Structure 1
Amino acid sequence: MPHGYNGKLLYVDLDHETYKTVALPNEISKKYIGGRGLGAKLYWDLIPPKIDPLGPKNVFMVLTGPFSGTIAPGAAKHLIVTKSPATKGWLESYSSGRVASELKYAGYDGLIIDGKAKYPISLLINDDKVEFSDARHLWGKGAFDTETYIRENFDPECGTLSIGPAGESLLPIACVGSEYFRKAGRGGAGAVMGSKNLKTVAIKGSKGVSCADISALKDRILEQHKRVKPGYMTPNTLTITNAAGMLPTRNFSKGQFNKGIGTIDKDAILDAKIRDRACYGCFAACSTITKVKEGKFKDLILEGPEYETLGMIGANLEIDYLPAIIKANYLCDDLGMDTISAGVIVGFAMECYEKGIITEKDTGGLKLTFGNYMALIDLLELIAHKKGFGALCAQGVREMAKKLGQNSDEFAIHSKGLELPAYDPRAGWGSAITYSVTPRGGCHRRAWPPSVEILGGVNPFTTEGKAKIVSRLMNLRCIMHSLIVCDLVGSRIQL
């Protein structure tokens, strides 16, 4: 087997509580690399057409890449591949932590989970041993308490995947958590875990990985270390998109939120920052730990918020009070909900409220005006548990618009059923092309046209030449996502 691979996958059958290893042939690894490439191959082979994403025949996969488990920077990513409850099609969702490394250390290049458990379980993987542990006592708990329990009762340094109440409620915006605040957020992967009665997965390995030339890899990394400045933060993006008119504001009806400059941008994050945090094995330390210093949410600590959350929970809802965004982010992480989709859903509901399409009678007394952060926080709880008006919101904006009618589909912002991220495509038409052609819908991960339209001097208000640009960007991301190397670090180093 070539270096960087173990040559086998772990296949788990929840129906019968059995497991086995499946060979990963050299020719498959060579052709598909790992991550998204391997995921596409396995998706084609294992997931039949037209199946219910929340049915037992849907397969839930956790995949690694050839750099996983090594000291390569940005290689702490893992990839979840399944059929999306949001779009009813292909889903890839990325997150960080120890999952990929521990899976490699346990001797596997990927994990395939099939079927449905008879009752809620935790899947505990320790090298060659797999345990199906009763998790009925964890069902209903938040993602944070769930992960803490697993670390205290299985291994404090394991890799974990956990869902919260949103996953149990089978929300199409349910995410999968790891390392507490790291989330595979988009497309409803958490609902697929919930549909399988799978509350959490914990992985611990002891076998290590092999490199063809570890000394050369180390020297290369030390050389590239000079290219990446520690402490880069995604909130830097907010000032850029706001200046470009690309920052979704008031449910995408505007592209600038000037009240957010100085209140929810990088300067505000730096003011709330208590320390940096790096992903497992990475030197970049691009994540920020923040703390609310005063007010209603005083002493709340969060890893984040990242740009997407500041954009969709902040500007898109016209909320310029950072402590409220931190609180909403914390709630979403613990409840197990994607902050991007949650922000679009609440923004849609607020516009419906202000247009008179819904009233306080419909919302259960919530005054869903833009800027009302307490209504946001209350609604997030209702959405996660599918209670009251939250049951409608839990379906996502595409289904909400179908049920509400009154031309509300004209401002239900999604592509293929996946709510758009924090880049208004009207300010950069390359993003419009990207959202239209990406398999998972409203996705900014496959390509990031703002790199050329906003930062690179290319005219953003034309489609001329954009198909070629988007194609080139997608091809580059395809390599990184098959290696499973972080976008932020992977685009800045040369390995």
Structure 2
Amino acid sequence: MANFQLKEIKSLSYEKAEIKKGYTDQSLRINLDSNDIIINPIEEKIKHKFIGGKGYDLWFLWNSVSGKTKWNDPENAVCISSGPLGGTPGYPGGGKSIVTSISPLTGAPIDSNVGGYFGPYKKFSGFDVLQIDGKATSDSVILIDGIENKIKIFEAKNLPKDSYELSDQLTRYFDPEKPVNVSVVTAGPGAEHTFFGCLNFSWWDAGRKRVRYKQAGRGGIGTVFANKRVMAVVARFGAVSMKSNNPADFEALKLVTKNHAKEIHDLDPKQNRMAIVGTTHLVPIMNDHDCLPVHNFKFGSHPESKVIGEETYEHIFDKGFDGCWKGCTVACAHGVKDFSPFTGPYRGKKVFVDGPEYETIAGCGSNLGIFDAHTILEINFYCDAYGIDTISVGTSLGFVMECFENGLITKDHTGGMELSFGNRFNALEIIHQMARGEGFGSIVGKGIRNMKKIFSKDFGADMAFMQDIGMESKGLEFSEYITKESLAQQGGYGLALKGPQHDEAWLIFLDMVHNFMPTFENKAEALHWFPMFRTWFGLCGLCKLPWNDIVPEDNKKTSEPAKVIKHVGWYADFFSSVTGRKTAPEDIITMSEAVYNFQRIFNLKMGFGTREHDTLPYRAVGPVTEEEYDSRKERYDEQLKNKYGFDISSMDTKNKLSALREKREDQYEKLKDAVYERRGWTKKGIPTVNTVKRLGIDFPEIMEILKKNGVE
């Protein structure tokens, strides 16, 4: 055990609220300016309208900040909630938390979902939502102890800096006899020195007798956490059962849980084998459909992708139960034991790597031209330990490498490093620099939007070209899917409230492979229903994977196979059985609409949230370079001739690029119009007064914001 000290500076004993139908109806606020510990009731009308999870986070954040609040202002809050269904053991994907804050990358609300035990333990300790605001004057640790019914704030000294050691040591410190009772939220040195810091949410793996963790990665919430000088938030709780949420109808809950868990147990081995290979099964699928990002999203496939896909990781992953919540039959949180890094502070030591997931493989592997499973594992390990988001790291480094290969930056700018595609050692060195806040890595850690400004102003780089190839929208780096050939997925990324993250809308297969959405109206309907349904998981504390990664055997025969209607019905039954609120599948969409539109207006409050902010870099829409065009020449020539009516016989590649760009950009603008109309928004992308009133979110401040933006 390391020689660290925790000095208690504030303690509060409390009477634990009884959980009723998935709710404690209490919030916990920790103000680090004054070290106040504040417990407040949550009004029934707020519960009814915002449901929980992401909805609660957004509501509490809204009331904490003003339109002028910046990410590093004391009033910016980190809010964590798991929702009314969160913490149901045995239900597949039943242990998620949602974390929300004002993002260092976007300046707007960001939400990130994460596994691990913290969210359920926090709720069962008595609190539906945790709000942390203010700034500590020294390193701090917060404890929510649901066994002893105490909340404590500690001043911390000599704690390990990285999450790998810190999570382990605090787990063993706070309950050495039963470490399974402890879950720890940590960031790390990379979160302190970059704009895309992540949070690690831990759980104790009883089979392996070690701490594991999952990441709330997107948007830099870990950076906010570190800026507040919070080293860790710890939740401690005891035994959990299906009765812990005190469901309204326990027998109905048992039935729907049994049905969904059994289906996954029976069908996963025949379908995606999530319990064996996790999300690595996506690598060959994305490669085969030209959707795997290669060389900064320039290409969609690569012949070496096989060595970084499921066939490789199936043999590397440690065997054992890998659920990030109790009893989850998807069990996709795989890892690698006894891994030995070849760089950095853990060089030559044996460590356990949690991952990699598909996003890390694609972003930090193929997107960087790195086709080496060991290197991807090492990047994965250090990003987690340092507390930095692997998606933003991979997408940002891809941008840097393309800039380097095009001469926009040189060794004079990178500290002498060759940063061409495939240079794995220098990619790792950049990550170590990010953690130290040193060298060129400190620039990369500011994210693509800021790098474009720096490269242009300080290095004389071509801004127009960087705007085309810099894969960010709203300031958030793209998650790892090629969207060039899917107009619907372009909308899924460009119209996403927080930026291009696939958890809001993932429509590539429906659009490209199955052609379920041939018209703008079809696409607009999909870009209404799917984001709303996906939002609902975040309101309730659930993982999305059990919904459509393992599907009923007869799903293809249903009228709308993309929606997996049988599962939608099960989720409605799940919600009804826990909350007692009778729910039909269509009610799920209405619940989400209120929160979704509220978040859009929250963006507006922060100075964003209009049509101009729903833009994309052109590479997300079509080919930027002649090399890109030529890589899909047959496809693009056919589109110009047969879809758009061009005579291309005398056109060179440069002219073809220009003609295709004009048509594709026009299509994207037309898609915006169709989606805005379907969502009940104005041409500028702002919810109308009628929409706000229909959804019951016509609060005075919201109406005033709409009025200021010309909507009355």
TM-score band by shorter chain is over 0.9
Contact 1:142–1:165, Cα closer than 8 Å, also in 2: yes
Residue 92 (structure 1) aligned to one of 82, 86, 111: 111
Which residue type is aligned with residue 380 of structure 1? I
Q: Give the TM-score, by structure 2 length.
A: 0.66
Aligned partners of 2:92 and 2:260 also within 8 Å: no
Structure 1 residue aligned with 2:132, among 98, 113, 126? Answer: 113
- Cα 1:454–1:285 change in 2 (3 A) is farther
Matched, 1:381 2:432: yes
Report the CA distance between 1:369 and its aligned residue: 1.5
Give the superposition deviation at 1:283: 2.2
Q: Residue 488 of structure 2 aligns to which amino acid in structure 1?
A: G
1:456 to partner: Cα distance = 3.6
1:6 partner letter: T
Give 1:142's match in structure 2, choosing from 158, 162, 170.
162
Match of 1:268 in 2: 312
287, 294, 319: which one aligns with 2:333: 287
From 417, 421, 431, the counterpart of 2:475? 417
Matches of 1:362 and 1:113, distance apart in 2: 38
2:206 pairs with 1:153: no
Which residue, out of 323, 335, 351, partners 1:278? 323
The 8 Å contact of residues 402 and 409 in structure 1, kept in 2 or not, is answered as: no
CA drift at 1:459: 6.0
**Deviates further, 448-457 or 116-125:** 448-457
Partner in structure 1 of residue 354 of structure 2:
303
Deviation digits for residues 138-186 of structure 1, max 9, x if unmatched? 2x610111111211211323121101102222x2110000124300000
Trace 1:347-386 onto structure 2 (pairs within 5 A).
Answer: 347-386=398-437
Residue 212, structure 1, aligned to residue 248, structure 2: yes
Aligned partner of 2:311: which letter? Answer: D
Alignment map for 1:209-248 (pairs within 5 Å): 209-229=245-265, 231-232=273-274, 233-248=278-293
CA offsets 1:416-475 (integer angstroms, 9 cap, x no match): 110001111103221211221112112111111124124544368x75632221111011
Mapped to 2, the partners of 1:464 and 1:213 lie a distance apart of 40
Q: Deviations over 1:100-132 (max 9, x none)?
A: 111111111110111111111001111342111
Q: Does 1:447 align with 2:471?
A: no
Contact 2:122-2:128 within 8 A present in 1 as well: yes
Cα contact 2:186–2:199 (8 A) shared by 1: yes
Map of 1:473 onto structure 2: 530
Out of 402, 408, 416, the residue aligned to residue 453 of structure 2 is: 402
Question: Do the aligned residues in 2 keep the contact of 1:58 with 1:114 (CA within 8 Å)?
Answer: yes
> Do 1:300 and 1:327's aligned partners in 2 also have CA atoms closer than 8 Å?
no
What is the CA-CA distance between 1:136 and the residue it aligns to? 3.2
How many angstroms does 1:301 deviate by? 3.4
Q: Structure 1 residues 485, 454: CA separation in 2 closer, same or farther (over 3 Å shift)?
A: farther
Greater CA deviation, 102-111 or 287-296? 287-296
1:20 match: 38
The aligned amino acid for 2:364 is I
Encode CA deviations 1:384-422: one digit per residue, 9 max, x unaligned. Answer: 222011111111011111111222232111011100011
Match for 1:254 among 293, 299, 304? 299
Instruction: Report if aligned partners of 2:20, 2:246 keep a CA contact under 8 Å in 1.
Output: no
Amino acid at match of 2:151: V
Query: Is the 1:332–1:339 Cα contact (8 Å) retained in structure 2?
Result: yes
* More helix as a share of residues: 2
Post-superposition Cα deviations, 1:71-123, rounded to whole Å, max 9, x if no partner, equal 23212110111111110001101111111111111111110111111111001
Q: Are the aligned partners of 2:340 and 2:351 in contact in 1 as well (CA < 8 Å)?
A: no
Within 1, Cα distance between the matches of 2:359 and 2:228?
Answer: 29
1:234 match: secondary structure? helix
C-alpha distance after superposition, 1:231-288 (max 9, x if no partner): 4121111112112211111011111122112x00111111212225012222221222
Using a 3 Å threshold, how does the CA distance of structure 1 residues 294 and 271 change in structure 2: closer, same or farther? Answer: farther
Residue of 197, 202, 208 corresponding to 1:174 = 197
2:63 counterpart of 1:51: no
1:22-66 per-residue CA deviation (whole Å, 9 max, x = no partner) reads 111222212211112222322322221121111101011011211
Shift of residue 221 of structure 1?
1.3
Number of residue pairs matched by the alignment: 491
In 2: Cα distance, 1:14 partner to 1:148 partner: 24
Counting only pairs closer than 5 Å after superposition, residues 72-91 of structure 1 correspond to structure 2 as 72-91=91-110
1:330 matched residue in structure 2: 381
Alignment counterpart, residue 427 of structure 1, candidates 457, 479, 485: 485
8 A contact 1:86–1:172 mirrored in 2:
yes
Structure 1 pair 454/410, CA: closer, same or farther in 2 (3 Å)?
closer
For 2:126 and 2:338, how far apart are their aligned partners in 1?
Answer: 42
- Stretch of structure 1 that moved more, 89-98 or 463-472: 463-472
Point out the more displaced range, 318-327 or 234-243: 234-243
Query: Aligned-pair distance for 1:292?
Result: 7.4
What code does the residue aligned with 1:425 have?
A: T
- % identical equivalent positions: 29
One-letter code aligned to 1:428: S
The one-letter code of the counterpart of 2:437 is: K
Distance (Å, rounded) in 1 between the aligned partners of 2:142 and 2:381: 25
SS of 2:319's partner is: strand
The 2-side partners of 1:293 and 1:267 are apart by 18
Displacement after TM superposition at 1:70 (Å): 2.1
Counterpart AA for 2:150: K
Q: How does 1:174-193 map to 2 (within 5 A)?
A: 174-179=197-202, 180-193=212-225
Check whether the contact 2:493–2:505 (CA below 8 A) recurs between aligned residues. no
In 2, Cα distance between the equivalents of 1:254 and 1:301?
32
Query: What secondary structure, in the 3-state scheme, does the structure 1 residue paired with 2:365 have?
Result: helix
Shift, 1:339, TM fit: 0.3
Equivalent residue letter for 1:255: G
What residue ranges of structure 1 are gaps of 5+ in the alignment? none
Deviations 1:291-331 (A, max 9, x none): 57899588653221100011100110011110100001001
Q: Does 1:31 align with 2:49?
A: yes
Is the Cα–Cα contact under 8 Å of residues 20 and 245 in structure 2 kept in the other structure? no
Shift of 1:345: 1.2
Query: 1:360 offset after TM fit, Å?
Result: 1.8
Could you say which residue in structure 1 is the equivalent of 2:24? 6
User: Does the Cα contact within 8 Å between 1:64 and 1:104 map onto a contact in 2?
Assistant: yes
Asked whether the equivalents of residues 60 and 131 of structure 2 are also in contact (C-alpha less than 8 Å), the reply is: no
**Alignment match, 2:367:** 316
Amino acid at match of 1:477: R
